[in-house]
Structure 1
C-alpha cells in the first residue's frame, strides 16, 4: 500500500478484512463545525472516528499533545484497529488533519498507514457511497510501542537554537510566521522561532485537496530553503498542520521529519522563548 492512495483505490479495497478506514476530521472553534456530528451524518462506509482532541494527553494545558503509548493503544483497540491492519486515514477539514493521525499512528508503531488523497470532499464530489450513524467495531490488539525520535519538546528546540543541528520549518501562514497576522489563540505572542523557515501547509495542496506532485512538493521545500536530506523538524500552531509537511517529506522519500509537538501553542505562550518577527 502506498503512502498516498486514490479514491479509486480505496473504493476497490473497501470491505477487505484487513482494511481499516479512519475519519480524522478536526476543527478549531473558529470553524464553527463539529467533526463528530458531521461524521455521524455521513462518512465513508466502515470508517471509525478518531477524536484528535480526546486521543491526547488531556492532563496537558496544551492542545492535543501526544498521549502515552498505553492510552493510544487502548483507544486504537477500542476503534478496532490492530496489528496487521492496513489503515487509510482521511479528513474533511481545512486543517488537513489526516496527516496528524498518520503521524501518530506511525510514531506509535502502525506499519501500513496511508492518507486518502483529496479526503472526504473528493470522495463525496465523485458521488461515492457514504453511510451514517455510529460504527460497530470489534476490539483488536494494538501493540504498545513509541518512536520518540519523531517528536521534539521545548528543551530540544531551545537547544537547537545553539547547535543548529536541525532545520526548522513552520507550517503556519506566512502572516503568522512574520507576525503580521493575529494568532488564533489571542494569548500568544506573534512571530516565529529564530532561524526557522516558512512553508505554509496549504501550499502543498491542489484546489481539490489532493497533494501536489512530488516534483512540485520538492520545489516548495527547496524554495523555502529546506534540504530534506538533512535533519528537519516541523512546527505549526499546535502540531497538526506541521504533520502535512512531514507527510510530504515522506512522499519524497524522507520519512524522518520530526514534529515539535507543543509548536507555537507552547513557544508563543512562554515569556522566556526568543521570537523573531518579519522576514
Structure 2
C-alpha cells in the first residue's frame, strides 16, 4: 500500500445515467454505493444519512458513511481522506476490488458521490462512476427501490496513492504562479474568507437544480466563463478546494466532463487553512 502510482495511470471516471445503471443492476462486477449525506451551516456540520438508506435505496446498493468510513478520524482536520489501510479494508469488506466498477450516488448536488469517486481515483481505482441526478432522479423516473441490505463476498482492494491528485496546505501556498486555484464554495461563503488568488466557481453552478444532473458541456463551459475561466486555455496545474474537500470534487467532476483528468484537490481546504493564523487570507 505504500507504493505510489504514476500520473499516467489514472483516467477520469465518467458519470453514468439512470438508464445505464438500470440495465446493469444484475451485473456482478458492479457495486452500487449509496453515500447520501448533508452539510449544515452550523456545528455539527457534517452528517451522513443512513436512515434514508434504510427507508429506500437502489437495489443491491451498499451504504458508506462519508463522515466516518472514508475519512481519517484521528486527523484534527475534519473529513480528511482515510489512510490507504483503512480505505482498502472498507472497499474489500464491501466486495469491491480494484477491478470492480463502482457507481456512487447521493442527493446533495453530487458532492458525496464525487468525493468517493475522487477518493477511489486517488487510490488507484479507475472504474468509479457517479450516478447523474442521484437517487432523487432515479425515483422520479420510476425506477425500482429496495429496503433489503445486501451482503457481498469479500474482495481484495489495494490502495495505491497517486499524490498528484491531493495537495497539502504548503503545496497550495507555495504553488507556482501559473497554477489555477478554484474555490468550489457558494459565493456567500467564499466572500467571508478565501485563499489569495482563488477564483470562486460555486459547485451549484455546475448542475441543474431541477434534475440534479450535471449541465451539458456547453453550459458547463459558460459557467466557467462566467467566473473568468476559459476552458480552452486552462493551465497545466489546477487545484480545487472548498470547506472540506468535498464540494470541490464537484468542480473536479465538471472539469473531467470537459476533458481535464488531472485536477488536484486540497484535501484540508478551508477547514485547515482558515484556522491557521500563519496562512494568508483574503475577503470580498
How far apart are 1:133 and its partner, in Å?
4.0
Aligned match for 2:60, one of 36, 46, 49? 46
Deviation digits for residues 67-117 of structure 1 (CA, Å, limit 9, x no counterpart)? 111211111001111122111111122563110001001111111111111
How far apart are 1:37 and its partner, in Å?
1.4
- Note if contact 2:67-2:79 (Cα within 8 Å) is conserved in structure 1: yes
Query: In structure 2, the residue corresponding to 1:169 is in which secondary structure?
Result: strand
Q: In structure 1, what is the Cα distance between the partners aligned to 2:248 and 2:47? A: 22
TM-score normalized with structure 2 length: 0.88
Q: In structure 2, what is the Cα distance between the partners aligned to 1:15 and 1:79? A: 16
Residue 188 of structure 2 is matched in structure 1 by 175
How far apart are 1:152 and its partner, in Å?
0.7
Residue 200 of structure 2 is matched in structure 1 by 198
Query: In structure 2, the residue corresponding to 1:103 is in which secondary structure?
Result: helix
How far apart are 1:221 and its partner, in Å?
1.8
Q: In structure 1, what is the Cα distance between the partners aligned to 2:66 and 2:76? A: 15
How far apart are 1:44 and its partner, in Å?
0.4
Q: In structure 2, what is the Cα distance between the partners aligned to 1:46 and 1:119? A: 15
TM-score normalized with structure 1 length: 0.90
Indicate whether 1:238 and 2:244 are aligned.
yes
Residue 166 of structure 1 is matched in structure 2 by 179
Q: In structure 1, what is the Cα distance between the partners aligned to 2:167 and 2:202? A: 20
Q: In structure 2, what is the Cα distance between the partners aligned to 1:33 and 1:72? A: 19
Residue 185 of structure 1 is matched in structure 2 by none
Residue 135 of structure 2 is matched in structure 1 by 120
Q: In structure 1, what is the Cα distance between the partners aligned to 2:117 and 2:251? A: 12
Alignment CA distance shift 1:2-1:48 (3 Å) = same
How far apart are 1:194 and its partner, in Å?
0.5
For structure 1, the 5+ residue unaligned runs are 180-190
Residue 184 of structure 1 is matched in structure 2 by none
Indicate whether 1:13 and 2:52 are aligned.
no
Question: What is the CA RMSD across the aligned residues, in angstroms?
Answer: 1.8
- Note if contact 1:238-1:261 (Cα within 8 Å) is conserved in structure 2: yes
Residue pairs, 1:1-279, within 5 angstroms: 3-29=14-40, 34-54=48-68, 55-94=70-109, 96-160=111-175, 163-179=176-192, 191-206=193-208, 207-228=210-231, 229-230=234-235, 231-278=237-284
For structure 2, the 5+ residue unaligned runs are 1-11
Structure 1 moving runs of 4+ over 3 Å = 29-34
Aligned length: 265
Q: After the TM superposition, which of the residue ranges 132-141 and 9-18 deviates more from structure 2?
A: 132-141
How far apart are 1:32 and its partner, in Å?
9.7
